Amino acid sequence: MDLSFTEVQTMLVDSIEKFIANDYSFERRQQYAASDAGYSADVWATFADLGWTAVPFGEDDGGFDGGPVELMVMMQQFGRGLIVEPYLANIVLAGGVLRRVASSSQKTRFLQPLISGELQATLAVTEPQSRYDLANIETIATKDGDDWIINGRKGVVLNGGNAGLLIIPARTSGSNTDRDGITLFAVGGVAKGVSRDAYPTVDGHQAAEIVLQDVRVESNAIVGKLDEGYAVIDAVVDEATLAVCAEAVGIMQILTDKTVEYSKNREQFGVPIGSFQALQHRMVDMLTACEQSYSLLLWASMVNADKTEDAKRAISAIKYQVGTAGKKVGQEAVQLHGGMGVSWDVDIAHYFKRLTTIGQMFGNADWHLDKLAE
Partner 1 sequence: MNVTFSKEEIAFRDEVRAFFRDEMPEGIADKQRLGVPLEPKDFIDFQKALYRKGWAGYNWPVEYGGTGWTTVQKYIFGIEMAEANAPGIITFGLGMVGPVIYTYGNNEQKQRFLPDILESNVWWCQGYSEPGSGSDLASLKMRAEHAGDHYVVNGTKTWTTLGQWADWIFCLVRTSTDVARRQEGISFLLIDMKTPGITVTPILTIEGDHEINEVHFENVKVPVENLVGEEGKGWTYGKVLLQHERTGTARVAHTNYRLSNLRQQASRSVRGAEPLANDRNFMRKLAAVEVELKALEFTELRTLAAVASGKAPGPESSILKLKGTELQQAVDELYVEAAGYYALPYVPSQYTLDFPESDRVGEGSETQSSLTYFNCRKVSIYGGSNEIQKNIVAKHVLGL
List of residues contacting partner 1 (CB under 8 A): 1-6, 9, 69, 260, 263-264, 274-275, 277, 280-281, 283-285, 287-288, 291-293, 295-296, 298-299, 301-303, 305-306, 308, 317, 320-321, 369-370, 372-374
**Cβ closer to partner 1: 1 or 145?**
1
Q: Smallest gap, in angstroms, from Cβ of residue 316 to partner 1?
A: 9
CA atoms within 13 A on the CB side of 360: 13
Contact of 20 with 77, CB cutoff 8 Å: yes
Rounded (10°) CA dihedral 260, 264, 265, 268: 110
**Cβ closer to partner 1: 191 or 369?**
369
Angle between helices 230-265 and 311-336 (to 10 degrees): 30
Instruction: Identify residue 67 by its one-letter amino acid code.
Output: G
**Cβ closer to partner 1: 131 or 281?**
281
Q: Smallest gap, in angstroms, from Cβ of residue 280 to partner 1?
A: 4
Contact of 220 with 208, CB cutoff 8 Å: no
**Cβ closer to partner 1: 42 or 306?**
306
Q: Smallest gap, in angstroms, from Cβ of residue 321 to partner 1?
A: 6
Longest CA–CA span in the chain (Å) reads 79
CA atoms within 13 A on the CB side of 142: 6
Q: Which long-range contacts (CB under 8 A, 24 or more apart) does 365-370 make?
A: 365/319, 365/320, 365/322, 365/323, 365/324, 365/327, 366/323, 367/132, 368/315, 368/316, 368/317, 368/319, 368/320, 368/323, 369/316, 369/320
Nearest to 21 by CA among 85, 108, 81: 81
Burial of 307 (0-12, 13-18, 19+ CB in 10 A): exposed
Q: Smallest gap, in angstroms, from Cβ of residue 322 to partner 1?
A: 10
Contact of 164 with 119, CB cutoff 8 Å: yes
How far apart, in whole angstroms, are the C-alpha atoms of residue 181 and residue 349? Answer: 43
Q: Smallest gap, in angstroms, from Cβ of residue 302 to partner 1?
A: 4
Q: Smallest gap, in angstroms, from Cβ of residue 19 to partner 1?
A: 23
Nearest to 167 by CA among 135, 120, 201, 128: 120
Q: Smallest gap, in angstroms, from Cβ of residue 333 to partner 1?
A: 14
**Cβ closer to partner 1: 162 or 364?**
364
**Cβ closer to partner 1: 28 or 264?**
264
Q: Smallest gap, in angstroms, from Cβ of residue 76 to partner 1?
A: 13
**Cβ closer to partner 1: 1 or 270?**
1
**Cβ closer to partner 1: 66 or 161?**
66
**Cβ closer to partner 1: 172 or 301?**
301
How far apart, in whole angstroms, are the C-alpha atoms of residue 289 and residue 295? Answer: 10
